[in-house]
Amino acid sequence: MLIELQQLRRDLPDIAIVHVTHDQAEALALADRIAIMRNARLEAIDRADCLFHRPPSEFAATFLGGADILPARALTAVEAGAVGTYEHGGLHLRALSHDALGGDKHVALAVRPWAWRLLPHAGDNAVQVQVHDSQWRGAVRHVRARVLATDQFIGVDVPVLDAPPTPGEQLWAHVAAEHVHVVPAEKSA
């Protein structure tokens, strides 16, 4: 059906089509623009690629792409489009900020499971984790791991061809700064 809907869009370029779905892959494949609803209210609306690569909120990042949210604080002022350093539970992570930020500002760092790489050694932009469990999901194995410094869990998608990590194993989760999305921190309930 997805291919037929894509063909329909090409055949009728002057017709506006509203397609309602809960399937993220379908929405990304079909949409010029995506609207994300939350509690019967419009949370965000933008081009599909912008919402995915520059999520405007924690909710948008977790809803579209399943990002983990790491509460953080900007250590210094960061210019728009620059990489800054952020503190998460005593750990320092670099992230590309699309907006200018003042120093000591509380933010959230959103990282999608496919962006992490599990390695046996420390390195740049990495957190030490302990593997909790993993689930086979076809092309990937989804690993749930606990960040040792903060006790927060993150999800890491490991290619199924790689050897699966063992529960209890301590590894380092690495992420490139351009795959860490800085979003406004949501107010605690």
Distance of CA 77 to the CA centre of its chain: 23
| Residue 73 lies inside a defined structural domain of this protein | no
Q: What total number of domains does the chain contain? A: 1
Residue 92 lies in a domain: no
Q: Does the reported pTM lie above 0.85? A: yes
Q: Using a CB cutoff of 8 Å and minimum separation of 24, what contacts does 141-145 make?
A: 142/113, 143/118, 145/118, 145/171, 145/173
Q: Show the CA angle centred on residue 65, arms to residues 67 and 44, nearest 5°.
A: 95
Q: What CA–CA distance (Å, rounded) separates 14 from 127?
A: 49
DSSP class per residue in 164-184: PPPTT-EEEEE--GGGEEEEE
Assigned domain for 34 exists:
yes
Q: Which domain holds residue 4?
A: 1-65
Q: Tell me the sheet residues that pair with 108.
A: 71, 183
Classify residue 44: in a domain, yes or no: yes
* pLDDT tens, residue by residue, 24-64: 888 888 888 999 999 999 999 999 999 999 999 999 999 98
In a domain, 13, yes or no: yes
User: Cβ distance 177 to 86 under 8 Å?
Assistant: no
Average pLDDT, the chain: 91
Question: What local confidence, expressed as pLDDT, does residue 26 receive?
Answer: 84
Neighbours of 94 (CB within 10 A): 16
